């Protein structure tokens, strides 16, 4: 079947840009939440999963998410950050599945972020990024 809007394919490099910016801001927000409102709940979920010392791991995890979110937003080391986000969201999917009563988030949210991160791992940064594809 023919593409109904072939002229839009000219702008295909903007798809990864949009995905990269949205996921970057999501992870920036998720990282900041680990220092503020959700810190106690994340510490409780880490302790429930046997990840100790949870009071040190949660801020470190938040810093990794903030750093990765910034890398995504500016488009630097996009595939490395995407790989980290695939691992992070895979871990958060597990945490959500195992400790749903503690964090009370929607597992579909983490699944969506996981798939978008996986897509960016394969497609790269897209337009307006500091990464230059060779």
Going by pLDDT thresholds of 50, 70 and 90, the confidence category of residue 116 is very high
| pTM (predicted TM-score) | 0.87
pLDDT for position 131: 84
pLDDT above 90: residue 70 = yes
13, pLDDT greater than 80: yes
Mean pLDDT of 14-37: 94
- Whether the pLDDT of residue 47 is over 90: the answer is no
| Residue 134 pLDDT exceeds 60 | no
- pLDDT tens-digit profile of 80-113? 999 999 998 998 888 777 766 665 667 888 899 9
Measured CA to CA, the distance from residue 16 to residue 85 in angstroms comes to 15
């Amino acid at each position: 079947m023919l593409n109904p809007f072939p002229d839009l394919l000219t702008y295909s490099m903007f798809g990864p840009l949009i995905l990269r910016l949205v996921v970057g801001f999501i992870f920036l927000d998720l990282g900041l939440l680990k220092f503020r409102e959700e810190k106690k709940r994340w510490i409780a979920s880490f302790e429930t999963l046997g990840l100790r010392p949870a009071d040190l791991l949660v801020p470190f995890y938040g810093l990794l998410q903030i750093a990765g979110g910034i890398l995504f937003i500016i488009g630097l080391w996009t595939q490395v950050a995407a790989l980290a986000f695939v691992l992070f969201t895979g871990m958060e999917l597990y945490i959500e599945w195992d400790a749903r009563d503690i964090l009370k988030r929607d597992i579909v949210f983490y699944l969506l972020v996981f798939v978008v991160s996986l897509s960016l791992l394969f497609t790269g940064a897209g337009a307006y990024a500091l990464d230059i594809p060779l």
